[in-house]
Amino acid sequence: MKTVAELALVLSCASLGAFGTWAILGAPSREVPCDPAAISEEEICLANLQAEWPDGSFLWIDARPAEEWQRDGIEGSINLTTAGPLGFEEQMEVSLERLGTASRAVVYCGSAGCGVSKEVVKRLREFGMIPELRALHGGWDALRQAGLVKGSSPAN
């Protein structure tokens, strides 16, 4: 019984500390940080993308699973992923016309920590596809935070 009481005391103190921190500092930031100097060469920050590549001047490539892309992918995007039941080359064949005519493309995946977009960029470069090709740093999280996807609004 003594162990249970000690555990309850520790949990109460931890909870009070967490609540006190939240009350003083506020809720934790959910912002996807992006420092162009700190990201890899194949990535691009959303702010840089919006400043340097006008809407309509590039192809969006969704590297999330096909079900997610079909549910809420960016309008006009294509689905190309290394994490799906279809092989990468088969997926490329489906979108070959769009891939072959794009001079720029941005690949996004499910979250800031997702590496699938970088893998898609690597594979497309191996095929010699799309002269200017980048992976969006922060992926879907960055797009949602900026209010660029269905059902989202810009974070304040």
Three-class secondary structure of residue 75 per DSSP: coil
Is CATH 3.40.250.10 the right assignment for the domain spanning 43-145? yes
Strands 132-136 and 104-108: parallel
CB 36 within 8 A of CB 45: yes
Distance of alpha carbon 144 from alpha carbon 149, whole angstroms: 6
Distance of alpha carbon 45 from alpha carbon 135, whole angstroms: 9
Q: Which residues contact 150 (CB under 8 A, 6 or more apart)?
A: 72
Q: What is the pTM of this model?
A: 0.78
Distance of alpha carbon 118 from alpha carbon 61, whole angstroms: 11
Distance of alpha carbon 122 from alpha carbon 39, whole angstroms: 16
Model pLDDT for residues 46-85, shown as the tens digit of each residue: 999 999 999 899 999 999 999 999 999 999 999 999 988 8
Could you say which residues of the chain have pLDDT below 70?
A: 8, 11, 14, 17-23, 25-32, 151-156
CB 135 within 8 A of CB 42: yes
Give the domain ranges of the chain: 1-30, 43-145
